[in-house]
Amino acid sequence: MEQRTGGRPQRRRNVYHGTQAQRQDVRRVRTAPPPPQPGASRPRSGRADASYRRYATQKRRHRALRQLMFLVSGLLVVGACVLVVTQSKFFPIHGEEPEPVQPAAAMTDVTAEEAKSGFIVAVDPGHGGGDIGAEGVYFDEWEMTWKTAGYLMDLLEADDRFSPFLTTDGNEYEKASQRAANAVEGGAQLLISIHGNSGDDPSYTGFECYPVPPGRTYNAESLAFAQLIADGFGAANENLRGQNGVRYIYYDANNEKKIYEVSDTSVHTDPTFTLLEECGCPAVLAEQCFITSPQDVEAFGDDDGCHAAAQIYYDAICSWYETYGQPS
């Protein structure tokens, strides 16, 4: 196209007019960046440069402030997490109680037993360890003897004067000689052996016991113990067999039982019960009741009966101890 060449020359346009308006905008909104102007060039005047530097400086400060706040927030979150993890060991979450502190040196049962230095009583449960003893009308002999021995142990252990122990743990069969050896090893100062009687006729009833016989060491002390026990059963209305429930027993050359009433003080060379022969202390073997008799079992064979029998044995031990067991 052909240009106009004639007439008034066209006025040259001021190229800074547009940017002046931008500068005014910047002054009105000091924090807002100038709207992007495609193709617009950066202000070139001194005032425009100063304004832009202030704006840029402010923007850098704000960016730095945001970064600082972000960093501080992050550090706070990390710190809180570390606190929860480390403190949870000492202040558990979910309301759990702290682990109890175990004493550095807890006293063991053995130590406690050794610390107790009472009069040593051996309690022999008669049977057990696979040896059932005699068959009873409701249960076998070993059940009654172990139950009674357990109750007697409870009574003796609760009494500071005594240090009782069982002649066998019942895990395996131990014959009488082994139980006697166990009693000696345990330092027994008095022994009670608990058994149940049996008979072909259920009408057989009553209590009897056997002390170390005449002519043996500990006969007098054993006899005194036996009489205290028999008196206790008599006082509980149990039938006392023989003269007063105390008898001596021997085994002859044919291993046949030979029984003598307590009034017969003659000395016999035949052996008595092995446990009485070899336990090395005053001792009594008790036939608590006839486990073949319903009447006897109700009196001294069932749970209440075993409890009652244990109490009689315990009372007899206490009485005997006051006469024979006190240190001289």
The residue ranges that bind Zn ion (CB under 5 A) are: 126, 133, 195
Closer by beta carbon to Zn ion, 281 or else 289: 289
Q: Which of 166, 70, 147 is nearest to 310 (CA)?
A: 147
Closer by beta carbon to Zn ion, 131 or else 315: 131
DSSP character at residue 32 = S
Q: From the CB of 105, what's the least distance to Zn ion, in Å?
A: 44
Q: From the CB of 139, what's the least distance to Zn ion, in Å?
A: 13
Q: Is 44 helix (H, G, I), strand (E, B) or coil?
A: coil
Rounded Cα distance, 35 and 21, in Å: 12
Q: Tell me the residue nearest to Zn ion as measured from the CB.
A: 195
Closer by beta carbon to Zn ion, 145 or else 219: 145
Closer by beta carbon to Zn ion, 179 or else 195: 195
Closer by beta carbon to Zn ion, 128 or else 133: 133
Helix or strand holding residue 55 (H, E) = helix 46-87
Q: From the CB of 189, what's the least distance to Zn ion, in Å?
A: 23
Closer by beta carbon to Zn ion, 43 or else 133: 133
Q: From the CB of 210, what's the least distance to Zn ion, in Å?
A: 11
Q: From the CB of 161, what's the least distance to Zn ion, in Å?
A: 28
Q: From the CB of 313, what's the least distance to Zn ion, in Å?
A: 16
Strand segments (E) across 205-271 = 208-211, 247-251, 257-261
Closer by beta carbon to Zn ion, 195 or else 247: 195
Note the helical H segments in 116-202.
141-157, 176-185
317 within 8 A of 162, measured Cβ to Cβ:
yes
- Two tokens at 231? 């008196």
With the C-alpha atoms ordered 30, 35, 40, 41, is the resulting torsion angle positive or negative?
A: positive
Q: Residues 140-168, buried b or exposed e (16+ Cβ, 10 A)? A: bbbbbbbbbbebbbebbeebeebbbbbbb
Q: From the CB of 127, what's the least distance to Zn ion, in Å?
A: 6
Q: Is 273 exposed, middle or buried (0-12, 13-18, 19+ CB in 10 A)?
A: buried
> Which residues neighbour 138 within 8 Å (Cβ) at sequence distance 6 or greater?
291, 294, 297, 301, 302
Closer by beta carbon to Zn ion, 162 or else 207: 207
Helix or strand holding residue 66 (H, E) = helix 46-87
Q: From the CB of 197, what's the least distance to Zn ion, in Å?
A: 8
Calculate the alpha carbon distances from 66 to 70, 80, 229, 298 in Å. Answer: 6, 21, 96, 92
Rounded Cα distance, 310 and 141, in Å: 16
Q: From the CB of 108, what's the least distance to Zn ion, in Å?
A: 34
Closer by beta carbon to Zn ion, 233 or else 321: 233
